[in-house]
């Protein structure tokens, strides 16, 4: 926790006046609510839960308007995927891409600063990171890409085969307790959904 909170130094920590965004599944509606908890509060809760449950933390940075974020949310709501992912992760959601002037949605206070500190500056959404229970970065959704500026590209929600491959790399690194059958089921689910998206 000290590592993450140090990155958020100077951020105002508000009491959680809306429901918790840490738990079995993130809540996109709560993440985008003005006056919601700060990134420091969300991270503190996630770290405490991850330590207790002996899991890593899967953080999604996104926005209420983000279509690919909805695809990610749909993946987390699928029964098969939920069963696998809940075994390995505590989930947290922060909004960092809300539009200025939107009176109904707001960025998570301190969320953009934290997203930038874990490699997500200008990455696009969703941007995913896996942290250990102490808040140290294990892996993020930036895959190596020789053609991209800086040599990295955010996979967002994985649709293309190379994106699915990187997501599976994230799972192997961030959830080493998942077995081969679970990883194969996850890859199969992602590939099937991707085919539907690509070939409608």
Tokens of 36: 């919601």
Q: Is residue 194 part of a domain?
A: no
Q: Is residue 8 part of a domain?
A: yes
With a cut of 90, say whether residue 15 has pLDDT above it: no
- Dist CA 123 CA 37 (whole Å): 23
- The alpha carbon of 18 is separated from its chain's Cα centroid by a whole number of angstroms, namely 20
Identify the DSSP state of 169.
H
Provide the whole-model pTM.
Answer: 0.85
- For residue 75, what are the domain limits? 2-157
The pLDDT tens digits of the residues spanning 128-137 come to: 999 999 999 9
CATH code of the domain covering residue 9: 3.40.30.10
Q: Is residue 164 part of a domain?
A: no
Q: Is residue 165 part of a domain?
A: no
Are 33 and 107 within 8 A, CB to CB?
Answer: no
Query: 127: buried, middle or exposed (CB in 10 Å: 19+, 13-18, 0-12)?
Result: buried
The pLDDT tens digits of the residues spanning 141-159 come to: 999 999 999 999 999 999 9
With a cut of 90, say whether residue 63 has pLDDT above it: yes
With a cut of 90, say whether residue 91 has pLDDT above it: yes
* Residue with token string 């420091």: 40
Share of the chain above pLDDT 90, in %: 81
Q: Is residue 179 part of a domain?
A: no
Domain count, the chain: 1
Q: Is residue 64 part of a domain?
A: yes
Give the pLDDT score at 200: 78
* Residue with token string 């294990």: 138
pLDDT tier, 28 (very low <50, low <70, confident <90, very high otherwise): low
Q: Is residue 190 part of a domain?
A: no
Give the pLDDT score at 27: 56
Q: Is residue 168 part of a domain?
A: no
| Overall average pLDDT of the 68-97 stretch | 97
- Dist CA 145 CA 123 (whole Å): 13
Q: Where are the beta strands (DSSP E) in 26-170?
A: 56-62, 89-95, 127-131, 137-140, 142-144, 152-154
pLDDT tier, 29 (very low <50, low <70, confident <90, very high otherwise): low
């Amino acid at each position: 926790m000290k590592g993450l909170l140090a990155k958020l130094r100077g951020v105002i920590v508000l009491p959680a006046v809306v429901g918790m965004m840490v738990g079995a599944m993130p809540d996109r509606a709560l993440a985008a609510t003005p006056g919601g908890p700060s990134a420091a509060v969300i991270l503190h809760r996630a770290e405490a839960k991850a330590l207790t449950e002996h899991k890593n933390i899967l953080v999604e940075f996104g926005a209420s308007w983000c279509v690919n974020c909805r695809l990610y949310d749909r993946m987390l709501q699928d029964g098969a995927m939920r069963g696998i992912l809940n075994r390995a992760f505590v989930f947290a959601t922060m909004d960092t891409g809300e539009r200025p002037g939107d009176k109904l949605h707001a960025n998570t206070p301190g969320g953009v600063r934290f997203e930038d500190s874990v490699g997500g500056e200008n990455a696009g959404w969703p941007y995913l990171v896996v942290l250990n229970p102490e808040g140290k970065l294990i892996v993020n959704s930036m895959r190596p890409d020789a053609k991209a500026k800086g040599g990295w590209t955010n996979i967002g929600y994985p649709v293309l085969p190379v994106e699915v491959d990187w997501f599976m790399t994230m799972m192997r690194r961030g959830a080493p307790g998942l077995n081969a059958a679970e990883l194969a089921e996850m890859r199969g689910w992602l590939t099937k959904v991707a085919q539907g998206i690509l070939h409608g």
